[in-house]
Amino acid sequence: MTALILLPENVPIPSQTFFFDTSILPAEWSYTNGNQTATKVSGGIWRSALLDPAYTKSSGKWYIEFQNTANTTVFGCIVGQTTAGTTTTWLGTLASDWGYMSSTGTCPSANGRRANAGVTPAYGPPWCVIPPTKTVMIAADLDNGDIWYGVDGVWAVGSDPSTLTNPAFTGVTTTNTRFGVSCFGATESFTIPATLGYPVPTGFSVLV
């Protein structure tokens, strides 16, 4: 059973101040909104946009929200992390990448997928954008090598990073972790919302 997570009243909402690395494939990505929005320029090929190197982490428990504002192709988009600095393909291609794909086929589809070392089993709800936006959540425990994913306030397949329950991945490599997004089609876009839409899991901190 899953439940929507709501922010309690009168609790300050943390902000996200991190931004994308504009040196990554500037011919393939357009960076706007104070470099907190990355939009794919060309279609028909996978490319990844990573956060600025200042937000590279090797330890700690970190929470991130990416707002997917355009994503309708058959291949869709991915949020995830890499320890190899992957940019010229999708996050999840290599053994050193881990990601959450938006769909298992043409949008809309029955499931999303989790991705690592090129293996992409069905996982969690799809999040290809039929409504105006989808908020994709990442909770990364780099101290223990566990990762959780969720969409619009609901953690996938009954998982819960606050209780360390049922992570999407365990035992991941964490040295020099960079978070980012991948897309296949042109005009597909992600924004880092300045104001979080959902509560930070217990024991985690907003990426700084």
What's the CA gap between 56 and 189, in Å, rounded? 22
Q: In the predicted model, is pLDDT for residue 127 greater than 60?
A: yes
Kindly report, residue by residue over 184-205, the tens digit of the pLDDT.
Answer: 888 889 999 999 999 999 999 9
First vs last Cα of the chain: how many Å apart? 32
* Stated pTM of the model: 0.91
Asked whether 204 and 62 are in contact (CB, 8 A), the reply is yes
Ordered by where they begin, the domains of the chain are: 29-134+175-192 (2.60.120.920)
Kindly report, residue by residue over 11-66, the tens digit of the pLDDT.
Answer: 556 789 999 999 999 999 999 999 999 999 988 899 999 999 999 999 999 999 99
Check residue 167 and give its pLDDT.
98
